[in-house]
Structure 1
Amino acid sequence: MKQLTNILLIGFFLLTVILMQAQKKSNRLINDFMKVEGNWTGQLTYLDYSSGKPYMMSADLEIKRISNTNEFLFVHTYPKEKSANKTDTLSISKDGQYIGKEKLVSRTKLSNGDIRIITEKEGKDGNDGKKATIRQTYILGNTSLSTQKDVLFSGETAWIKRHEYVYKKQRN
């Protein structure tokens, strides 16, 4: 009986440690995105699959946390193409393993203090909706912010840069 009690105590202890680590990972990601809350101005460059050429357009971004949750609103506005304006919700899982439906691949503090976060998911992309691995890379800094989407189509070996947003912090 004593042996069973010890096993249960050890199991409970290990479960507690694992849950605390998951919460720590989630909180770290939340703090990363809290640091980039505010207004950003910049541009979007995306690959036009029809022409095979990059297209650039002005883009602004407002990031704000939804109350004290693990969710952030990304309000995208395009000064010269208002019909493209949209709002996305970025959600960080409670265990810190996912951003939305994308699996966290890595989180790295860069030498300049910025944070690089890479996520991946399986999905479809392209004009004909081909199966692909989709990688999202966030570079979060005090005065600069970028997000880049890369696509690896099923059966291919080369990643394609689908789009990239590059922003500078707006001064208040």
Structure 2
Amino acid sequence: MKACVTSLALIAVTACATTSTDVAPRVTSDDLALVDGAGWTGTLVYRDYSPPYGDVTLQAEVDVSVTSDGLLLDMRYPGEPSANSTDMLSVATDGSRLGGDPVVARKEDQGEVRITTRAPCEDDDKPAICEHIYTFSKARFGLRKTVKFDGSSDTFQRNAYTFTR
């Protein structure tokens, strides 16, 4: 009888441990709150779609507002004010999607949160897999997009915003 109870307890502990590690990664309201506010300055580096496909760097600024739908980004480019824009980075109510794509990874390290999304996309009129890496902290905010074309083993960076305050 004692062996039976011990076995059942071991099975129960194993089942609970298995269930807790199967939790899907999520973005939280606390993650978003880290980057809320004005005064972010930095750069946008993007890969040009035209030959020779080099990287272009622009100065960039952003004010971030947390809304019920996600993050409202007021983007400014001091050297190219005609490119200024306001964008919404949407977050699913349950935190399973960011920018419309599924959250596939979440990592926290020393006050910084890194969220990764991945989904099929189209880049340069070709089918691909796009991965977005978002970095949230009180002092750093980053948005990076990488692309891997279907049938290719190579991944390249399409663009990266890097901000500090």
TM-score in terms of structure 2 length: 0.79
**Match of 1:102?**
101
2:49 aligned residue: 49
Shift of 1:95: 2.1
1:131 corresponds to = 127
1:59 to 2:55 alignment: no
- The aligned runs of 1:1-172 (5 Å cut-off) are 29-39=28-38, 40-50=40-50, 51-66=52-67, 69-110=68-109, 112-126=110-124, 129-169=125-165
Moved over 4 A (4+): none
| Gap regions ≥5 residues in structure 1 | 1-20
Structure 2 CA distance for aligned equivalents of residues 147 and 164 of structure 1: 6
TM-fit CA distance, 1:71: 2.2
Alpha carbons 1:92, 1:99 under 8 Å: kept: yes
Contact 1:30 1:70 in 2 (8 A): no
SS of match in other structure, 1:149: strand
CA contact (8 A) 1:107 1:118 kept: yes
CA distance in 2, matches of 1:72, 1:56: 24
Structure 2: 5+ residue runs without aligned partners? 1-22
List per-residue Cα deviations over 1:85-143 (Å, max 9, x = no partner).
11111121122211132110111102x321000011211112xx111111100111111
TM-score by length of 1: 0.76
Cα root mean square deviation, aligned: 1.7
In 2, the alpha carbon distance for the partners of 1:46 and 1:96 equals 28
1:140 and 1:76 map into 2 onto residues whose CA distance is 17
* Fraction of identical pairs, as percent: 30
Q: Structure 1: how far apart are the matches of 2:114 and 2:146?
A: 15
Of 52-61 and 87-96, deviating more is 87-96
